[in-house]
A and B are shown apart, each in its own frame.
Chain A
Amino acid sequence: AQSVTQPDIHITVSEGASLELRCNYSYGATPYLFWYVQSPGQGLQLLLKYFSGDTLVQGIKGFEAEFKRSQSSFNLRKPSVHWSDAAEYFCAVGETGGYNKLIFGAGTRLAVHP
């Protein structure tokens, strides 16, 4: 069965610093991979997704992620963090042959210091 691991529960960065959130997945075939963001009291919003093709994908709000098959990773990056990026970030893997079922990681809570 597929699974997603986000090794970092909490991360704190300074505003303007670069950011990398880690995600490792376990899946037998080529996965569909997603990053979602959840602001306090809100639902989840899609940041970006990878299905196939270029392994570096661009998302909203200046985020990007790189799919590395050899490392089973899909890390999220942003070159310069803004205070409004403080939120919880979820990596998810989807079934390629199934019914759009997503499995989510435990999430990484990002705090941004001024």
Chain B
Amino acid sequence: DAGVIQSPRHEVTEMGQEVTLRCKPISGHDYLFWYRQTMMRGLELLIYFNNNVPIDDSGMPEDRFSAKMPNASFSTLKIQPSEPRDSAVYFCASSRRRGRGGELFFGEGSRLTVL
């Protein structure tokens, strides 16, 4: 089974531009998570979905960030407009139902640089 697939792996953009990060979770996983990793703040949970429904978006920094999950096999994280402080590695992760106790499977991340 393929793991969590993220694209793009690297993105360099200029301040003010729109950025869209994409994620394909592992088939059969009911939960999808977006994390952001920076040197200063470590791994932060931005938002997570259960059965395509956003459950907790309290970690989303501000209105410039939005996430969607139109179906069980695809999610996007959008930043509009982007700012230099958004530069980070963004990870998508998925997991099975709660009975598995929360084991997350991570993608390789999307490294975003905003100039």
Contact = CB atoms under 8 A, between A and B. Distances in A.
B34 interface: no
Given A43-B108, A44-B91, A99-B31, A104 B42 contact: yes
Interface residues of B, number: 24
Nearest to B43: A104
Interface in A91-110: 94-95, 98-107
Contacts of B98: 98-100
Chain B interface, >50% SS class: strand
- Chain A interface size, as a band, is 20 to 34
Interface stretch (A13-21, A45-53, A65-73, A79-87): A45-53
B45 A103 contact: yes
A80 to B, nearest CB: 27
A43 B91 contact: yes
A32 interface: yes
Interface string B87-113: 000010101001011111111110000
Contact of A46 (B48, B50, B103, B109): B103
